[in-house]
Amino acid sequence: MLNFNDTKVAFKIKSNTDLKRAYWLFRIISSPAVVKIGKFLMIIALKLRLPVNFIVKRTIFKQFCGGETISECDKTIKELGTHQIGTILDYSVEGKMREDDFDQTAKIIIQTIEKAASEKSIPFAVFKITGISKFSLLEKASEKKEPLTSLEEKKLNLVKYRINEICCKAKQLGVPVFIDAEESWVQDIIDQWAFEMMLLYNKEKCIV
């Protein structure tokens, strides 16, 4: 029987150093004032090109992320897997504006699906549609207050094509895929696409 209050078991995989770092990190970010000041200082540091990336990667990034690439995550995937803990590869890139950036993100998402197919410790894949589309386009398509221009229609079709490619690959490799929820005011079009993908890939044939 599992005892979720047994912290010795829950944190068995972590060293004392890991736990101390996590404790102080969460103490710091639990303060809204500190977070606000820290964000301001970070923006200044980045503008001045100060070497802060090393500090971020050793603290916040190390706590919440497995790596910057799929291969960087391998060590964490295997380490967690030895303790029967599954891993989810979530390529967290948002706010891009160029179509080639969206295409590149879609390719990496497909790579995470391929990794999940070859790694039993990864039970499913997940992706955010805001990583493969402009937020403003999703917002306009969801609100339906104004008709989309021909260019916007074309770009929206490109977004749907990327989603279809991702879901098709997941279907082919037998990997469950989750479409992440977004802000409520862009969720309508995402719900529509998710429902369409479920209907489409409930069938045998995979179509791109």
Same domain (yes/no): 50, 108: no
* Span 16-65, pLDDT tens digits: 888 898 999 899 889 999 889 988 988 898 888 888 888 888 888 888 88
Q: Is the pTM of this model over 0.75?
A: yes
Q: Could you say which residues of the chain have pLDDT below 50?
A: none
Phi, psi of 49 (to 5 degrees): 60, 40
Residue 91 CB neighbour total at 10 angstroms? 18
Q: Which residue range(s) make up the domain with 194?
A: 70-200
By the 8 A CB rule, do 126 and 180 touch? Answer: yes
Phi, psi of 177 (to 5 degrees): -130, 135
Q: Count of domains in the chain?
A: 2
Same domain (yes/no): 59, 74: no
pLDDT of residue 1: 65
